[in-house]
Chain A
Amino acid sequence: MTRATDALDEHVDGIRSRSEEAFSAVYALTANSLASYANGMLRDRAAAEDAVQQAFLELARAAPNLRGDGRSLRAWLYRSVRYSCLDEIRRRERRPEVVTDQVPDAGYRDELDLPDAALQTALMALSERQRSLLVLRHVVGLSGTQVAKAMGSNRTAVYAATARAERRLRQLLEGVESPRVAASVSVEHEVLDEG
């Protein structure tokens, strides 16, 4: 992770001057991680790829104002992807899915494509912030400091929140896979929702 950050440092000046080479290099270094993060948030590969493209287009517009080093650039990209994902989630909430006979095109991947159905269900039960923390930490592999920077929070709060999210995901996974635990988890979920 440190090596990748160093690599981004080399391209920050190029990004500020809107150099195509710098953008290509940064894209090559970060696109897959950003896409994985967005995929964890949206559970939709096509939407995740769109979020990555959107983040880079916004970076192209905001490049002259970019400040800081490679780590700041990385955090900026993750934040941008996160906002795109949140927009997408809100859009989906406003526009519920409709049953249709139309066959999706080849590039479209439904969220049920995720091989681990239990994980899919458990992730759905988490809050957006918890999902975001878990994906950044365990899928993308960012350090606590990097996650904090990407989430616009402090490291201590991120560690605590990540631990809570992990505990909850474990409970949910155990509940999904074991009906006996499922009942207790669902009760806890209701209590948490009310709280």
Chain B
Amino acid sequence: MRVDITDRLADLHIEIGQETATRHLAAIEAELKSPSPIPVRRVRRRRRPAVMLAIIALVVLTAAGAFAAENAVQGEPLYPVKQVTEWAQTWLDPTVPADHRIEELESLIERRATHEAITDQLQRAEDAVADVADTDAVLVDRLDRARDRIVDVETDDTPHLDHPASDDPPESEGTDRPSDTTLPPPERPGDGDRDEEKGTGETLEEGPAAVPPLCHKAAASIERGETVPRWILRACRAYLPETGHGTTDSP
């Protein structure tokens, strides 16, 4: 025998009596006359713009900080920010640290930073380039050019009392090896750049004081029998004695 649930459950149906309904409505009316509580959602809505503004400010400040730190070099306050963003960028492109180190080196060169600062940065840049598993030819080329630029700058700076630095950049810019043209080696007149030397010969006759300190150090290192990087040998070949170092490493 199938039990009819609906019929039997109908017994549960009740109706609220008039007296009870009146009592209920009086209670509801009293509740409605009491001060309206602050709606929870309205409070949330008031907070929402503040939260959104805080999030937007955080994003904007982070982006601005990262942007401002982009050109920072070692020792500057924003450099740690740059390191953090660099760490994140390295996940996407492993050559980013090397690229940044070279940029920093170029920046220091342009700012005419101290020799020690440039040398330290050069070391960091070389390490960073060496760390790139697949050494990028572009990075190596940029590093080479930066090295040449170091020699160029130091050569320009040494006689800076006679040659204001502002006169030099227009001549040196636009060539890959400015040191070959602006500072021809007086001891080796037979070298290939003779025609260009003629054009600048007058300024170079001012004296042997034009030997840059980097080349002095290189000469001293060679005398002590220490190893000198190839790029220094190449750049200073005009100022170094005719040794095996100078001839074998020159291109």
**A binding-site residues for B, Cβ under 8 Å:** 18, 20, 23-24, 27, 31-32, 35-36, 39-40, 43, 45, 48-49, 52-53, 56-57, 60-62, 64-65, 114-116, 119, 134-135, 138-139, 166, 169-170, 173-174
In the complex, chain B residues 11-30 whose Cβ is within 8 Å of any chain A Cβ: 11-16, 20-21, 23-25, 27-29
Q: Is the CB of B40 within 8 A of A49?
A: no
Q: Is the CB of A36 within 8 A of B13?
A: yes
Say whether chain B's binding surface is mostly helix, strand, loop, or mixed: helix
Instruction: Report A-chain residues with C-beta under 8 Å of the C-beta of B42.
Output: 64-65
Contact status of A116 and B8, CB under 8 A, knowing A31-B24, A65-B39: yes
Partner of B5, one of A36, A53, A166: A166
Partner of A56, one of B24, B37, B39: B24
**B binding-site residues for A, Cβ under 8 Å:** 1-3, 5-6, 8-16, 20-21, 23-25, 27-29, 31-32, 36-37, 39-42
Q: Is the CB of A40 within 8 A of B24?
A: no
Contact status of A35 and B15, CB under 8 A, knowing A23-B28, A27-B21, A170-B2: yes
Q: Is the CB of B9 within 8 A of A119?
A: yes
CB distance from A176 to the nearest CB of B (A): 10
Closest partner residue, chain A, to B31 (CB atom): A60
Partner of B3, one of A45, A60, A173: A173
Q: Is the CB of B15 within 8 A of A32?
A: yes
Instruction: Report B-chain residues with C-beta under 8 Å of the C-beta of A173.
Output: 3, 5, 8
Closest partner residue, chain B, to A109 (CB atom): B14
Instruction: Report A-chain residues with C-beta under 8 Å of the C-beta of B41.
Output: 65
Q: Is the CB of A114 within 8 A of B13?
A: no
Partner of A114, one of B12, B24, B32, B40: B12
The 5 A-B pairs at the shortest CB distance, nearest first, are namely A60-B31, A138-B9, A40-B12, A36-B13, A65-B39
